[in-house]
Amino acid sequence: MAKIGVIGAGSWGIALATLLHRNDHQITVWSIVEAEIEMLQKEHEHKDKLPGVKLPEDMVFTTDLEAAVDGKDILVLAVPSPYTRSTSKSMAPYIKEGQIIVNVAKGIEEATLMTLSEIIEEEIPQADVAVLSGPSHAEEVGRGIPTTIVVGSKKKKTAEYLQNVFMNEVFRVYISPDVLGIELGAALKNVVALAAGIADGLGYGDNTKAALITRGITEIARLGTAMGGRIETFSGLTGIGDLIVTCASMHSRNRRAGILIGQGYTMDEAMAEVKMVVEGVYSTKAAIGLAKKYNVQIPIIEQVNQVLFEGKAASEAVKDLMLRDKKIENPLIPWEE
């Protein structure tokens, strides 16, 4: 049995806390929001973020960060990506040398273009940082629906340990050393999911969705490999797998926000309606910055950026994508002369 602190009591943090408790681990859940912790202590259910998933009586809920961190074998960092740095900074004084932190949020920091694990390593250099990602909606993991994900770590020993901690008959865990590729796939697919939702909001169909998924993973892999990620990662669970589920499901807050934008909502109005952090909005500008830095073309993400931040009409963005210069689908495949 491991002692595990889950830092963040949103839908994903609560779903993973439930999963880990089922695996017979001792769980403490932290949130900075006092009302949220009071609700969890009283109701043993997150009625706002994960209704219907009952939490066990022996799960501990606290607003005391030191209590949630101290003496834990593993910390699951599940705060929304915009709060990764500030939360890591607050955690740092309580982290022991070699203490494992598993980041489960998805995003890229706009100001620095750093991945979330890079932020955690910068703020908490004494920690052993890993990531967990893949096609995994909290609503389904919390209900025990079969799910498969990937744990990434630079240390094989850490990855194998976490594989044993998280894995059970409904939660299959693979491991990988490609932490960068995993995080880039996780962050950038949210931007493409916004595009897929916008297309849905405009009334487009399956053909459009398939095109966005297929060309979207091409953009993600193009940028990801230019930065040092492995092409195999982008064809796996944390690449195309996560992209498919995020573009296709109404559980996806990014797709839901995109649908509203396609229907005419502003970005701020869509985020307010979804009532959860829409990670893709925060990753879009960072993706544009990375594409410029590495001199990579990402036309779908560029159009999403223009719709979100430059007032471009969604229908115009689709037209501009369709009328781009003619291309070869895969220039690496040679022609027979």
| Active centre residues (catalytic) | 189
Burial 20-55 (b: 16+ CB within 10 A, else e): bbebebbbbbbbbeeebbebbeeeebbeebbeebeb
Burial 163-197 (b: 16+ CB within 10 A, else e): bebbbeeebbbbbbebbbbbbbbbbbbbbbbbbbb
Strand partners, 27: 4
Q: Answer yes or no: are the C-beta atoms of 252 and 193 closer than 8 Å.
A: yes
Q: Answer yes or no: are the C-beta atoms of 308 and 281 closer than 8 Å.
A: yes
Find, among 86, 40, 91, 88, the residue nearest to 62 by Cα. Answer: 40
Token pair of 324, please? 């781009």
SS3 14: helix
Angle of CA points 188, 90, 164, to nearest 5°: 60
